[in-house]
Chain A
Amino acid sequence: MLTISRELHDKIIAHARKDHPDEACGVIAGAIGSDAPTRFVPMQNAERSPTFYRFDSAEQLKVWREMDDRDEEAVVIYHSHTATEAYPSRTDISYASEPQAHYVLVSTRDAQKAEFRSYRIIDGEVTEEPVTVSPR
């Protein structure tokens, strides 16, 4: 299960809305082993594409080092789908390589109502998990 604060949940959706129709992506860092997402880190989509995303490799190195220095890890890795449902695509699955991460997908295909779903992706196997949005 993913437990995430209302504030972080809304920030992810706001980022996805802002970058629509391109896919938005980023991480939420948290203390190693805590499973608690606390620090919002929006990333550039180096592909600037409505159908693909990739963390800019230089930015990723910088962010990963920062997390290392702060004893954090990527608790949430999020991205948006802009025309399809918030379910991991084949490409998403083939790239997923952080077994500790909650892979959050947001769909912005509906301008009124955003879909927000979370998955574990381990060795190519996708498991959807419940999302609890906490007041803080």
Chain B
Amino acid sequence: MAIEVRIPTILRTYTGGAKAVESTGSTLDELLNNLESAHSGIRDRLVEGEKLRRFVNVYLNDEDVRFLGGLETPVKDGDTVTVLPAVAGGGR
């Protein structure tokens, strides 16, 4: 068993075009480190310092991880992690 990570179009250059990849870990942080070892460069697009970048939304199953525990959010086999680029901007 593993954790499925769904990858948005803009980051599929890191996954050889794959829409979803599998990884493992007990927290989101660990999962992203393991993802990085298979898909070099991807972690940096998601994490800045110790925090998720504000340009991306990361969901554990149906929940935005910002409302869970951020990078410390526990994850387990069978979970799905979805990454979407945040859509935002504004006049100023």
B-binding residues in A (CB < 8 A): 23, 25, 27, 43, 47, 49-55, 57-58, 60-61, 64, 73, 77, 79, 81-84, 88-89, 91-100
Contacts and interface: CB of A to CB of B under 8 A. Distances in A.
A49 B92 CA distance: 11
Closest 7 CB pairs of A and B: A92-B89, A52-B90, A97-B85, A54-B88, A81-B91, A51-B92, A55-B87
A23 B87 CA distance: 13
14 contacts: A43-B87, A52-B91, A54-B86, A57-B86, A58-B64, A60-B87, A79-B89, A81-B91, A82-B91, A89-B89, A91-B90, A92-B90, A94-B55, A98-B9
Contacts of A99: 9-10
**A interface, over-half SS:** mixed
Chain B contact residues, majority secondary structure: mixed
B28 to A, nearest CB: 15
The contact size tier of chain B is 10 to 19
Interface in B41-90: 55, 57, 59, 62, 64, 66, 82, 84-90
A92 to B, nearest CB: 3
Nearest to A52: B90
Given A61-B82, A61-B84, A23 B90 contact: yes
